[in-house]
Amino acid sequence: MIDKDYRYYIHKTKNRGAYWHKKYRHRKKHVPWILTLGCISLLSIGIGLTLYGRELSAYPTRPLTQIDHLTLGTIAAGTIAARQPLPTQKPAAIAAKPHAITPDLHNWQNITIKKGDNLSRIFSRLGLSPRQVHEVMSLGNPVRPLALLRPGQLLQIALKGDNDSRQLAALRLNFSPIEYLEVQAKDDKFQAKRISRNVQTRLETVTGTVENSLFKDGLQAGLTNKQIMELTQIFGWDIDFALDLRSGDNFKVLFEEHYLQDKKVQNGPIVAAEFTNRGKTFRAIRYPDGNGHSAYYTPAGLSMRKAFLRTPVNYSRISSHFNLQRKHPVLNRIRAHKGVDYAAPIGTPVKAAGDGKVVFVGRKGGYGKAVILQHGTKYSTLYGHLSRFKRGLKVGARISQGEVIAYVGQTGLATGPHLHYEFLVNGVHRNPLTVKLPQANPIPSQLQQDFQRHATKLVAQLDAADNTTVVLNQSLNSQPN
């Protein structure tokens, strides 16, 4: 058996050898042509080198070390004419005074963040190593925004070195026209700081009257969409802007404008405002607490913010009011309606009316999916007919006012998508639209005197509001972190 296998192997080997022998004889015919072409190529290269050498001899020679004195910006701009002799310089002078090329840190590459971008991908496109990404992100809290890049943000990057050893020289992430994060390479390490440009702050006053809608008339008066939203948030605890507005209501808004070199770059916050609704006037003064936070107060120092939101959802209309004798639309019998129904599209965010703790989350009979919050020992709120809950919401969780807890739905006994909202005081249902809401904390007593001086000046400007502009001797200084 072994002998048979051996003879078979020899037979196959012989046949294979015959095949390659025939193939070699076939290729052998092409050898002269290949040799001829090779000789012609070598001859052409030799002639070219000879002519090139003669051409070079027509130009003056210069030390190789002079290449260190070329200006990178000039070469990049293409301002050196082709075949012009480079200026000569004595080698001794070069050795005595070496010149180091430094990158132009103001030659920024502007990169607009796109969907799916992150710092690692951007560095990779620029030829920067993953190690540099790690070194930058290791700088801690100052660079956290680099891990949360959003489409549309502007990232500026300056590079140094050639393609083989490209390095990051500096990086800037713009938060606004006046504030940015800067990362710089210094002594082979990266340093990060948050910088605010020096700006001139001016106060602008805008007045207007509601004739059609607050948004339309506000824009016509000179406010932006964002400022109109801020205005509704400031007075939202006292005025229901969806139901209470009337033709003839009027407003005054005093806000900051920020300028760089006499050019306006952005609007600042509203510093004082007045709104007259149905003949009743409300005023708000913005006051910083000294800890980096600001809040709005009445001229008397009471907080504009109440302990509870009047409406915990952005709604299109009230589909059912608080009514203890209402006929239920599904059950078709008299059944007390102990809350308010806010009609809104499915998926509209539902916010916590006040700071509190989750005491129930799940299905609750006719309420469908519901959440109940306890606010101290006296108050509680219920949110019903929800489509889904906020991810991770559970009993015992602490919730802040305005925090999204769930989303509008149509679960339980509901004829359409809406939020059913109940407000209880000591276990008794009260009308959420009319119940007197408790105030948030007022100005601390130790700050009352300073607040009154601050408020008096701003109230005087509201009283004299005539669309004039006041220039303040105020600027925002650089505040590196």
Per-residue pLDDT of the chain (481 residues; tens, 9 = 90+): 444 444 444 444 445 444 444 444 444 455 555 556 555 655 555 555 454 444 444 444 333 333 333 333 333 333 333 333 434 333 333 333 333 333 444 578 899 999 999 999 999 998 888 999 999 999 988 889 999 899 988 899 998 877 777 888 899 998 888 889 999 888 888 999 998 888 899 999 999 999 999 999 999 999 999 999 999 999 988 888 888 899 999 999 999 999 988 899 999 999 999 999 999 999 999 998 767 789 999 999 999 988 999 899 999 889 888 887 666 566 666 778 899 999 999 999 999 999 999 999 999 999 999 999 999 999 999 999 999 999 999 999 999 999 999 999 999 988 899 999 999 999 999 999 989 888 888 898 899 999 999 999 999 999 987 544 444 434 333 333 3
Residue 34 confidence (pLDDT) = 56
Q: Is 390 within the bounds of a domain?
A: yes
CA distances from 320 to 5, 283, 324, 342, 449 (A): 96, 31, 12, 7, 46
Residue type, 199: V
Is there a single domain that holds both residue 424 and residue 325?
A: yes
Q: Is 281 within the bounds of a domain?
A: yes
CA distances from 427 to 222, 335, 374, 379, 420 (A): 46, 19, 11, 8, 17
Q: Is 268 within the bounds of a domain?
A: yes
CATH of the domain at 172: 3.10.450.350
Is there a single domain that holds both residue 302 and residue 451?
A: yes
Is there a single domain that holds both residue 205 and residue 290?
A: yes
Is there a single domain that holds both residue 342 and residue 273?
A: no
**Which of 164, 196, 228 is at the close of a domain?**
196
CATH of the domain at 342: 2.70.70.10
HSE-CB for 449 with a 13 A CA cutoff? 1
Residue 340 phi, psi dihedral angles, 5° rounding: -125, 135
**Which of 159, 176, 196 is at the close of a domain?**
196
- What's the structural domain count of the chain? 3
**Which of 146, 166, 196 is at the close of a domain?**
196
Is there a single domain that holds both residue 341 and residue 408?
A: yes
Q: Is 253 within the bounds of a domain?
A: yes
Torsion region of 368: left, alpha or beta (phi above 0 gives left; psi -120 to 50 gives alpha):
left
Domain containing 184 equals 109-196
Is there a single domain that holds both residue 327 and residue 422?
A: yes
d(CA 311, CA 335): 23
Residue 331 confidence (pLDDT) = 61
Residue 292 confidence (pLDDT) = 72
Residue pLDDT, tens place only, 380-418: 999 999 999 999 999 999 999 999 999 999 999 888 999
Q: Is 153 within the bounds of a domain?
A: yes
Residue 242 confidence (pLDDT) = 81
Structure token digits, residue 112: 């607009």
Q: Is 3 within the bounds of a domain?
A: no
d(CA 67, CA 56): 17
d(CA 48, CA 42): 10
d(CA 124, CA 101): 25
Q: Is 14 within the bounds of a domain?
A: no
**Angle formed by the axes of helices 214-221 and 225-235, nearest 10°:** 120
Is there a single domain that holds both residue 355 and residue 397?
A: yes
HSE-CB for 163 with a 13 A CA cutoff? 1
Q: Is 41 within the bounds of a domain?
A: no
Is there a single domain that holds both residue 370 and residue 285?
A: no
Is there a single domain that holds both residue 321 and residue 417?
A: yes
Residue 437 confidence (pLDDT) = 87
Is there a single domain that holds both residue 399 and residue 418?
A: yes
Residue 197 confidence (pLDDT) = 86
Residue 36 confidence (pLDDT) = 60
Is there a single domain that holds both residue 419 and residue 336?
A: yes
Is there a single domain that holds both residue 227 and residue 271?
A: yes
